[in-house]
Structure 1
Amino acid sequence: MYKVAWLARLPRGMGQEEARRHWRDVHGPLCLKVPGLERYVQNQVLAPIGTEGVTEGTTGFDGYSCGWWADYGSYADAMRTPQWQELVADGANVFDMDWLWGMSAELDEVVLKEPPANWAGTDQGRFKVVWIVKFRADLDGAKAHDYWTNQHGPLACRIREIGETGAYVQNHAVRAIGADSLPTDEVELGFDGFAECWFEDRAAFEAAMRSLEWRDLVEDGGNLFDMEFLWLGMSAALEERIMR
């Protein structure tokens, strides 16, 4: 599957609830009309995540959407359709379009923990969090992506509420999406990827953050990530809307 993410910030002069409704009820259905789109998920920020868990305050983004196509060719074909152009035109009605530059990317999705089978048809797994990450400036990008998958990721899976009773996906940014909606090396990415975790419920998330394994994970984060970027507004609890 070919996966793309669009990080979003809502216009500051627009009411937040009005913008969220438009995203869900107007922009979302327009996206569903785009040919070839096989999966589509909206994620709207509920609250920031700090070092001690869910907290109050603001985030540097208001959510993100992910779309999946069968392959790159299907995606590229979709970008040339009237349905996609209609969706792009609507973007200015709900998003801060200047902020979006460099904040959309094609992704390499790495599933480190599938959702437990017993979640199917239940409300379990509805508590979702995301950490949008940038690598340390002194690290080689390819080596950083490898470390994230093969060193940092397994540390996260040692946390019971993730590795046994939760779900965990890494999304590695490959290239930015340019003005023509196609991936390009000419636009500098504003992030290197994001990690998504699903927990049985908020209590499970809070238990995870109290664990020794979580402390090990956070300590290791300093080997890889720009921690100031991570904790200052780029981590959040989410409302996940599975549109398709």
Structure 2
Amino acid sequence: MIKLVYVIRKRADVSEKDFHEYWLKKHGPLVRGFAKSMRAKKYVQSHTVFEDAGQQIRTTRPRMKETYDGITEVWWDSLEDFNSGGDIKQRAEAARALLEDESKFIDFERSSIFLTEEHEIFDYTK
């Protein structure tokens, strides 16, 4: 599996409440609408919670100060599916629409995006 990981910080002019609500209720369904044209298999949003506990954990790590507002993860079966999934026009439309929507709530300069290959070490939920 190939996974896109998008570590997100909200725009400064967007409240925390509005950020989480928009991301979940507006952006999430928009991504779902493009899933088939992108050949995406799974999409998960992880919203930061319990910031006091997060701060305590960060103090146990050298020089770790900042946190993120959340993480988006999108899965594909293969790098080939990620690179060539679906109709070119549909993929271009998805890329344009998603970027336009993300600009409403994401601080691009303070966020990061990268591809990973999963290596499951354990999963006791199965």
Tell me the C-alpha RMSD between the 2 structures: 2.6
Shift of 1:161: 4.0
Q: How does 1:1-244 map to 2 (within 5 A)?
A: 126-161=1-36, 165-176=40-51, 177-179=54-56, 189-207=66-84, 211=91, 212-230=93-111, 234-244=112-122
Identity value in percent: 27
Any stretches of 5+ residues in structure 2 without a counterpart? 59-64
More helix by share: 2
Structure (1 or 2) with the greater strand fraction: 1
Q: What TM-score, normalized by structure 1, do the two folds share?
A: 0.41
Structure 2: distance between partners of 1:220 and 1:235: 16
Greater RCO (Cα-Cα under 8 Å, separation 6 or more)? 2
Are residues 208 and 143 of structure 1, via their aligned partners in 2, closer, same or farther at CA, if it must alter by over 3 Å?
Answer: farther
The alpha carbon displacement at 1:201 in A equals 1.4
Aligned to 2:48, the other structure's residue is in SS state strand
Secondary structure of 1:196 counterpart: strand
CA distance in 1, matches of 2:102, 2:56: 33
Aligned pair count reads 111
CA 1:165/1:228 → structure 2, altered by over 3 Å: closer, same or farther?
closer
Please, which runs of 5 or more residues in structure 1 have no aligned partner? 1-125, 182-187
**Paired residue type of 1:142:** K
Task: Give the structure with higher Rg (CA).
Answer: 1
Provide the TM-score with structure 2 as the length reference.
Answer: 0.75
Rounded to whole Å, the distance in 1 between the matches of 2:9 and 2:55 is: 19
Matched residue SS, 2:49: strand
d(CA) in 2 for partners of 1:138, 1:165: 31
2:76 alignment partner AA: F
